[in-house]
Amino acid sequence: MKLCRVRTAGGIKPAAMDGNGVLRDLSDHIGDLTAAQIGPEGLTGLAALDLAALPKVSGEYVPFLADVGRVFCIGLNYYDHAEEMGMAIPEHPILFMKACKVTGPNDPIIIPKGAHKTDWECELGLVIGSRTLHVGEDDALNHVAGYCVANDVSERAFQLEMGGQWVKGKSADSFAPIGPYLVTKDTVTDPHDLSVSLFVNDRQMQKGNTRTMIFSVRQIIAHISQCVTLLPGDLIMTGTPPGVGIGKRPPQFLKPGDVVTAEIEGLGVMRHDVVAFRD
């Protein structure tokens, strides 16, 4: 099941895509798509609906969850990305956080004031559906509500040249686009065999597959839950395949006027205009 939220003339409405690719209005059954709605019981109820009998709806995609919680990220989690960066394979998942709000799949990417090395990172995102603490790998996927396309947009100068933690380069407004859908886990046969691609304008920059992840989704959730209680609505970006701008020779970064298109097999496509910061 593909769940989303769209902005219409009558306000934001929750929706689901039917078998023919048509969005159906869920607002007669739920007020909005929230963290409380994506637990096992809530998703079971939505799955039981006859989508073809619901009204059609269309509009601008907004973040698929009204109340996305914290945004956790895993760094250096693809073997081929570690190779392009000339970095050692980590022994444990590298965990950091983004301190910005998520944005929608077609919202602009805003280059921060004073930035000159804004980079892209298309990533498999996952959303937690139930409280998760001290889980083992065997139980980890039972806590996943679904998956999405995400982009861990990064300003490399802030991240790498200003000292301290990575959060500085990861948290500008517009640096956490997600969408267009939350694709429930029952719809994704294997999250570790999905093609990942990102284009800047008409040039493909990233081409990879989640099969080259160092730490699996199970391992990531189990690891984080040993340190942090994960809550419904929390988002985890699981790392990026090769092809990021800082890894190019010479490095390449985003500029106003660029168009970024990110896609993961079966999860949808995001398209973003790159614009300059305005006071």
Higher pLDDT, 87 or 99: 99
Would you state the pLDDT for residue 67?
Answer: 98
Of the pLDDT bands very low, low, confident and very high (cuts 50, 70, 90), residue 220 is very high
Q: Does the predicted model carry a pTM greater than 0.95? A: yes
**93 and 136 co-located in one domain:** yes
Would you state the pLDDT for residue 119?
Answer: 98
**Between the CA of residue 109 and those of 74, 155, 198, 200, 273, what are the distances in Å?**
21, 11, 14, 12, 6
Q: What is the mean pLDDT of residues 151-159?
A: 97
Q: What is the pLDDT of residues 117-146, one digit of tens each?
A: 999 999 999 999 999 999 999 999 999 999
Would you state the pLDDT for residue 87?
Answer: 86
Of the pLDDT bands very low, low, confident and very high (cuts 50, 70, 90), residue 43 is very high
**47 and 129 co-located in one domain:** no
Cα 85 off chain centre by:
22
Of the pLDDT bands very low, low, confident and very high (cuts 50, 70, 90), residue 5 is very high
**98 and 236 co-located in one domain:** yes
Choose the final residue of a domain: 29, 62, 95: 62
Average pLDDT of the chain to the nearest whole number? 97
**112 and 135 co-located in one domain:** yes
**32 and 166 co-located in one domain:** no
Domain holding 122: CATH number?
A: 3.90.850.10
Would you state the pLDDT for residue 96?
Answer: 96
**238 and 148 co-located in one domain:** yes
B/e letters for 165-187, b = 16+ CB within 10 Å, e = fewer, are ebebbbbbebbbbbbbbbbbbee
Of the pLDDT bands very low, low, confident and very high (cuts 50, 70, 90), residue 85 is confident
Q: How many other C-beta atoms can be found within 10 angstroms of the C-beta atom of residue 259? A: 14
Give me the number of domains the chain comprises: 2
**11: region left, alpha or beta (phi > 0 left; psi from -120 to 50 alpha):** left
**49 and 177 co-located in one domain:** no
Q: What is the pLDDT of residues 104-118, one digit of tens each?
A: 999 999 999 999 999
Domain encompassing residue 12: 2-62
**175 and 272 co-located in one domain:** yes
**173 and 122 co-located in one domain:** yes
**202 and 103 co-located in one domain:** yes
**142 and 249 co-located in one domain:** yes
**147 and 266 co-located in one domain:** yes
